[in-house]
Amino acid sequence: MYRNMLALAAIVAMQAITLQAHAVTLCTAGNPNTTSVAESTPTSAFVDHNDGTVTHSLTGLMWKRCAQGLSGADCATGTATKMTWSAALAVAVADAAAGYRDWRLPNKKELESIVESCGFNPAINQTVFPATPTSYSSYFWSGSTYPLFPSDAWGVDQPNGGTFTLSKTSVFYVRLVRGGQSLGYLDATALFDVDGNGTLDALTDGLLILRYLRGLRGAALIQGAVGAGAQRTSATEIEAYIKSILP
């Protein structure tokens, strides 16, 4: 029995040494926060297209390597830009990186899929996603509205990888994604909140879409149909947004 216990202790000790070497060697997500957890997003799981984008083989999603506002091979050019949730949705619609026009905000689960569990500050693979902001409250927006409070959306605190709900009027960072079931993953509030006030309302958003489909434009489109706290208030802004979400 004593001999068996010694053998078991030796095996456990060897496993601990192996795990420690593995985690410290492979963890590229800032400071390792454990010696017993291997990378959850190893660099080998991503295909670099050498155009500022990578594809995650685990999910099939294509990501922009740089946070919005940054560019270059190491994301060293520019400044990472903070913006409100509605502004982030609009930026995604307008983005044409690498020649694609279907960039979007990732949903909550998609954003969580690139959180790196072996380290922190930032909790993301820095080889794949360089220059990720690490300052206090470096949150990244998802496109998922918080159902209990539609004025909030989910986001990831990039320094530690935690998921939180954030007021849509706050300003945080953005990383865009494409591919997957984009329309299915984006919740209805995110997609059809035409006036951008964080609430899906049949008497405002629904009416705006109905009027647009009937051919109304300009003042006739928006009269009495823009909700309180709207981020998009002019006919030009609303026409452009509806055009971007309709097939």
Q: How far apart are CA 143 and CA 179, in angstroms?
A: 14
Q: Would you say domain 43-186 falls under CATH 1.20.1250?
A: no
Distance CA 194, CA 236 (A): 12
pLDDT given at position 197: 79
Phi, psi of 181 (to 5 degrees): -95, 70
Instruction: Return the domain boundaries, the chain.
Output: 2-32, 43-186, 193-245
Tell me the three state secondary structure of residue 127: coil
Q: What's the pLDDT score for residue 15?
A: 36
Q: How far apart are CA 68 and CA 100, in angstroms?
A: 15
Q: What is the pLDDT of residue 121?
A: 85
If you search the block for the tokens 């958003």, which residue do you land on?
205
The tokens of 75 are what? 């994301």
> How much is the pTM?
0.65
Block mean pLDDT (10 aa), the chain, length 247: 41 36 52 69 92 93 97 95 93 92 91 88 91 87 88 90 92 92 49 79 89 93 90 88 74
27-60 in b/e form (b: 16+ CB < 10 A) is: bbbbebbeeebebbbbeebbeeeeebbbbbeebe
Q: So what's the pLDDT on residue 244? A: 72
